[in-house]
Amino acid sequence: MQIRDRYAPSPTGLQHIGGVRTALFNYLFAHSKEAHESRDAAFILRLEDTDRTRFDAAFVQNLYDTFAWLGIHWDEGPDVGGQYAPYIQSERLELYKRYILELLDADKAYYCFCSPERLETIRLEREASRSGETGYDRHCRSIPKEEAAARVASGQPCVIRLKIPLDGITGFYDRLLGHIEWKNRDVNPDPVLLKSDGFPTYHLANVVDDHLMGITHVLRAQEWLSSTPLHVIIYAGFGWTPPEFCHLPMVMGQDGKKLSKRHGATGVDEFRRQGYLGEALVNYVAFLGASYEEGKDVYTLAELAACFSLDKLNKAPAVFDYKKLEWYNAAYIRVKTNEELAQLALPFAVEAGIFEKVGKERKQGSAGIEPDAEQKRIFVEAMSLVKERVSFLTEIPAKVAYLFSEPPLPDASEFFPKKADIHAFSKTITLLTMGKDLVSRMAAMTDADAEAFIKTEAEKAGVKLGDLMMPLRVAVTGARVSPPLFGSLRLLGAEASALRVEKALAKLTAEPV
Ligand code: GLU
């Protein structure tokens, strides 16, 4: 089957989960098995920037940044070109003007001269009468063609409206929802196709471009379903065959309401700032309304595409589960190499200001300081200590900060078991003194050798390994819970580690509990 599909956002807002899901499904479909049978399958980006009042170039930039970060690329689009360029609607105005003339000639559209004030009056009257009638009252539909042409020629402001048939039925087949029919009298009467500023509305530009760009499948959010009969009427007006439609299942929050800010982050930027990985987001979003093979959660984009099929879409709304997304994120973090993860986490660490000179206490205002080569090396290696322990990139800086600057020493009571007595206290001093000696002898040992060494020494001294490790951990990392101790000691080096233990000992002796 021939497949050309598209993502056609209006740059009137930041990219959010809904848009990403639409783009992703179009991408996957154009790379699916079905598409492989198609000679020149393509996924296209088209900017629908006809709403000039809400347009902002920053939203276009956000669109490019978002999809670059997610790793989703199009085959044709404003930035990559293609045989149907331009792919920005504001650069195609002449085309729409040409095509609307065809509709006027065929008597499928007409000029409307109603002023905004008149339209507002009708709206209010219709609302007040509770007649159930909405929209335009077709006032200008009966103006004879010649009269309309003369008024246009005299420079009277006007728009062009679509003639929705007064009776009959408009039907179309939706790949997910099946056959859908609308009574024409229930379709929004005579929507504007060309505005007085010469810009087309969404309906005209969308249909003309889908046709001219050879779009075979329109996969879009269900909120566009009510526009589809109108589009089908426009296709019929031109005598064109509509593409196949597939309105994707809604995306809801856990409470069954449409996903929105109330539920949590929805903007892709927010997810990025919160320490999500683009791949994790893509993998999770791919499941919003679609099924793949059973028993597998983590897929590459290519694997998703290979399994994607419109026949495996779910009719029921998809529920956005932040916990599940978090699970994906942690899973993706876990399988990164140290280098990959360090690269992803580094901007967060720089922002958090963890890179001061090793051995010094962290100062205020160190945000933005880049690591030197040695710190960078330690940061990369530290990834293996934390990758199993975090769900978000944003958690990494705080978890590894103690490797770059001395953590503030916690209260003396943190160094020994909660129900400490004077006996436990003096025992801790003894253990730490022993720990300091061991730590300074551990230089250049692998983590496994260091562990074996400390175990043997603990046995020899007749102390429990845990009792020896706990105060050592607090002294070196500043906390009772920390990344693995032996890896930490290795990265800090014997000398710096021993110094920390010494400082802890000094503190404990100076301020006994
Ligand atoms: N410009 C519309 C949007 O912002 C496109 C809808 C469609 O895919 O037809 O989503």
Cα–Cα distance list, 478 to 142, 245, 446, 465, 504 (Å): 82, 59, 22, 19, 10
Residue 109: enclosing H or E segment and its boundaries? Answer: strand 109-112
Do the bridges between strand 178-183 and strand 169-174 make them parallel or antiparallel, or are there none, so unpaired?
antiparallel
Q: Look at residue 443 in the predicted model and tell me its pLDDT.
A: 82
Name the residue at shortest CA distance from atom 2 of ligand 1.
Answer: 9
The strand order across the sheet containing 244-248 reads: 42-45, 4-7, 217-221, 244-248, 169-174, 178-183
For ligand 1, the distance from its centroid to the CA atom of residue 499, given in whole angstroms, is 62
% helix, strand, coil for the chain, step of 5: 50, 10, 40
Which residue in 321, 469, 333, 478 sits closest to 408, CA to CA? 478
What ligand 1 atom has the least distance to the C-alpha of 7?
Answer: 8
**Ligand 1 pocket test target in 224, 234, 246, 248 with most atoms within 8 Å of CB:** 224
For ligand 1, the distance from its centroid to the CA atom of residue 488, given in whole angstroms, is 52
Domain 412-510 listed as CATH 3.40.50.300: no
CA distance 127 to 123: 6
pLDDT, one tens digit for every residue, the chain (513 residues): 689 999 999 999 999 999 999 999 999 999 999 888 777 899 999 999 999 899 999 999 999 999 999 999 999 999 999 999 999 999 999 999 999 999 999 999 999 999 999 999 999 988 888 777 888 999 999 999 999 999 999 999 999 999 999 999 999 999 999 999 999 999 999 999 999 999 999 999 999 999 999 999 999 999 999 999 999 999 999 999 999 999 999 999 999 999 998 998 899 999 999 999 999 999 999 999 999 976 688 999 999 999 999 999 999 999 999 999 999 999 999 999 999 999 999 999 999 999 975 445 555 668 889 999 999 999 999 999 999 999 999 999 999 999 999 999 888 888 876 666 667 778 889 999 999 999 999 888 999 999 999 999 999 999 999 999 999 999 999 999 999 999 999 999 999 999 999 999 999 888 765
For ligand 1, the distance from its centroid to the CA atom of residue 19, given in whole angstroms, is 9
Q: State which amino acid sits at residue 509.
A: T
Q: Look at residue 147 in the predicted model and tell me its pLDDT.
A: 97
Task: Cite the residue boundaries of each domain of the chain with CATH code 1.10.10.350.
Answer: 412-510
CA distance 468 to 378: 26
The secondary structure of residue 312, as a DSSP letter, is: G
**Ligand 1 pocket test target in 48, 52, 60, 203 with most atoms within 8 Å of CB:** 48
What ligand 1 atom has the least distance to the C-alpha of 6?
Answer: 8
Task: Cite the residue boundaries of each domain of the chain with CATH code 1.10.8.
Answer: 337-403
Cα–Cα distance list, 163 to 26, 82, 199, 212, 237 (Å): 31, 34, 19, 22, 9
CATH class of domain segment(s) 337-403: mainly alpha
Residue 171: enclosing H or E segment and its boundaries? Answer: strand 169-174
Q: Look at residue 126 in the predicted model and tell me its pLDDT.
A: 86
Q: Look at residue 350 in the predicted model and tell me its pLDDT.
A: 96
What ligand 1 atom has the least distance to the C-alpha of 19?
Answer: 10
Q: Are 478 and 408 in contact (CB under 8 A)?
A: yes
Q: Look at residue 31 in the predicted model and tell me its pLDDT.
A: 95
What ligand 1 atom has the least distance to the C-alpha of 210?
Answer: 9
261 in active site: yes
Name the residue at shortest CA distance from atom 5 of ligand 1.
Answer: 8
Q: Look at residue 431 in the predicted model and tell me its pLDDT.
A: 93
What ligand 1 atom has the least distance to the C-alpha of 12?
Answer: 4
**Ligand 1 pocket test target in 12, 16, 220 with most atoms within 8 Å of CB:** 220
- Strand segments, DSSP code E, in 249-313 are 251-252
Q: Which residue has the tokens 């042409």?
A: 149
Conformation bin of residue 6: beta by default, left when phi > 0, alpha when psi is -120 to 50: beta
CA distance 323 to 332: 14
Which one of 145, 183, 261, 312 is the catalytic residue? 261
Pocket of ligand 1 (CB under 6 A): 8-10, 48, 202, 206, 220, 224
Contacts of 5 (CB under 8 A, 6+ apart): 26, 29, 30, 42, 43, 44, 215, 216, 217, 218, 219
Residue-level length of the chain: 513
Q: Look at residue 358 in the predicted model and tell me its pLDDT.
A: 45
For ligand 1, the distance from its centroid to the CA atom of residue 20, given in whole angstroms, is 12
